[in-house]
Every structure is written in structure tokens, then in C-alpha cells.
Amino acid sequence: MFPAALFYLGVFLSVHGYPEFVMQQTALYECHQAAGARMVDFGGWAMPLHYGSQLDEHHAVRRHAGVFDVSHMTVVDVSGSATEAWLRYLLANDIARLPDNGSGKGIYSCMLNEQGGVVDDLIAYRRGRNDFRLVVNAATRAADLAWMAQTAKNFAVQINERAELAMLAVQGPAARDLAAPLLPGGAGDMALQLQSFASLQTGGDAELFVARTGYTGEDGWEIMVPAAQAAGLWDALVAAGAQPCGLGARDTLRLEAGLNLYGQDMTLDTTPLESNLGWTVAWEPADRDFVGRAALEQQRASGAARKLVGLVLEGRGIMRAGQPVNTPAGAGEITSGGFSPTMEQSIALARVPAAAAGQCEVVIRNKTIPARVVRPPFVRNGQVRVAGD
């Protein structure tokens, strides 16, 4: 199948869902079942929604430590003599900002189409001059791999999906200290010093990859290990006091942190400038060509008509994706919304006219409820941080 066809197949599946017979299981599936998790289909994977109380799981991450199975994420290693050149073309952010001296740095970026729409967001970790690890979303796996293949056809690169790796995220104020003694191969002391990531050998060909990244607004690590080691590490983290957490808590945590969800807050039809991600676009050097640059420059010159903002509901109700937003500057729509356990009120991300600010109204079940436009994040490192826009 041609790359373009694979790309649109991936988009179709990410929007309309995967048939049951394709649903995959991570290396931790039996651990989830043993813990009584409620399993759901997420991007074609059987994943835990919660283990009994989504609220308890949320608070555990904000107050102590929680552990997530994120093995459904797609890990891709890229190498070859033209890898740096290709990634500088593929990504809106510039990986040339990352030193190639083995210092272990990563960068967050979007992959764009020629219209400036977001194909996906990802993290790129630089392991050497032309040696990178990319982590992209699960639901967009087929589309992402197809787009990478299509854009790389004129570059000397090798793209290698690492499906044999499992990935755990341990997050929270106590997460790093709790997890350090449990890392394979006695790597905890070294990992505690890292500011971005460390790639360590733990015996034989086994590799431990520890990145100081996450999707919760808390400190912590995302840990990649061979699938055979995943259950042992999971059990050790839980025994040490990390709360098993599912997709439900992951979503309320990332919403409080003001982090975008692909397919809702950013899509193929929205640009980074419309998605509160303008900071991820590296405009300099001016002669660097990247996919979507011309479209973004035109939008920047004319001014984006829409922007992504935070909303705090000032009346009763729960904001949800798709609900209309009325502002003095015009109509908008909620892209992600829900109840914030930390703030104990409803919060949302919404795409609204660029001039929108201050008070607005959200239509919930045919009723207009007052709300306020704010700048995300709502919560960071356990503290409420809400500022007017």
C-alpha cells in the first residue's frame, strides 16, 4: 500500500475506531486484569480506564506518585547519514537546537502537513548526531509512520519502529525518588541526575531508556524497557507505593496541565498557531525549510483568526468537547473539557476567536452558563495556576 493511502487509513481509524479483532494488548495487560482494571479500547489497544476510583488515581499523582502503562505509544528510532536533515524538514521545531555531544536532550514538536495542519505531536530525543528516538501517539500510529516514510523518501534514513519495548510513566512529586532504586541495572543514581533523558545498558543487549517527560504536569519519568521486564518493574513500583493509574486520570491530569490532546485540541485542520503551540515553531534560521512553513508564515503575517484558550466555568455544570462557546468576539467551541479534581470545578480548552477575552458563556444542555477565559495551565506541580487571558 502506498504511503499516502496508509496515511489516510490511519486518520480514518483514529477517528472512527478500530475493529475489535485488531485490538492489541500491552505487556502489562495481565497486570491490569489482576488489579481489577476496567479495560477499554483506546486507539486499537486494550487499556485500563481506571482501577476503581479515577478520582483517587488523579489525587495520587498530584500528591505522591502514580504509574501509568503507556506502552501503546509508538516508539520509533531513526538513524542514517541524513537523519538530522530529514528531521529538520519533518518537524516544525528545530532539532538542530539539541547538542549532539551525548548530553541527553529532547524537544517537543509537531509534524505538519503542507497546509500547516498538525499530523501529530511528538517528542524527539537526540542520542547522537544522526541518532534519534521519536515517541508519537498510539491512535495516529499508521498515519504517522506513513507520513514519515513519505517525507523521508529523498533522505538517507532508516526508520525503525520499536514495538518490542514497553513504556511506563511514573509521575508525581515523589515519583523519581520512589522509582530510582527500582530501575534495572542499578541505574537509579545516574537517572536521578538527568534533566532530559538517559539511555543505559543494563546487561547484555537490554537497554533502559529513562526520560524526564510526562503528560500530567508533574515531575517524573517515562521509562522504556524490553517488554519482558515490564511486569516486574510495574509490580515493584506498585509495591513501593506508586498508585496504578488509568486513562481517565491521565486525561484529567493533562487537562489541568493545559496539555493538548491530538484529535481534539489539535487536528489536521488546525495549525500550531491556532492550538496554543506557536512556541513549538522554530522560525529561525529563516532559510530552514520545513513541511508547512509557507502556510504558517502566511497565517502569522495575516494573524490567526482563532486561538486555543482555557475556560473556567463560573456556574453549575460540566463542560465537554463540542459544546458551543459564545464570546463578545464571536462563537467558538470547546475542544476538551471536564471536572478538575484539584480545582473542584469544571475547566476546558476551547478554540475561540483571536480577540476573545474575559467573560463568555458556554451552552450546556441548552442552557447558557457563565465562564471565564484564562491562560493554561490550570494546575502545575500540584499548585492551581489560573491567569486571565
User: Euclidean distance between the first and final Cα of the chain, in Å?
Assistant: 47
Q: Can you tell me the mean pLDDT for 164-192?
A: 87
For 281-318, the pLDDT digits (tens) are 999 999 999 999 999 999 999 999 999 999 999 999 99
**d(Cα 21, Cα 68) in Å, to the nearest integer?**
24
Query: Which pLDDT score, from 0 to 100, does residue 227 have?
Result: 95
Q: Can you tell me the mean pLDDT for 236-265?
A: 98
Query: Which pLDDT score, from 0 to 100, does residue 132 have?
Result: 96
For 263-273, the pLDDT digits (tens) are 999 999 999 99
Axis-axis angle for helices 247-256, 54-63 (nearest 10): 50
Query: Which pLDDT score, from 0 to 100, does residue 184 have?
Result: 76
**d(Cα 8, Cα 2) in Å, to the nearest integer?**
10
Q: Can you tell me the mean pLDDT for 357-364?
A: 97
Query: Which pLDDT score, from 0 to 100, does residue 217 have?
Result: 96
Tell me which residue of 74, 66, 68, 77 sits closest to 24, measured CA to CA.
Answer: 74
pTM: 0.91
CB 244 within 8 A of CB 238: yes
CB 375 within 8 A of CB 309: yes
Tell me which residue of 151, 120, 115 sits closest to 297, measured CA to CA.
Answer: 115
For 329-356, the pLDDT digits (tens) are 999 999 999 999 999 999 999 999 999 9
CB 281 within 8 A of CB 273: yes
On the question of pLDDT at 32 being above 90, the answer is yes
* Backbone torsions φ then ψ of 54, nearest 5 degrees: -65, -35
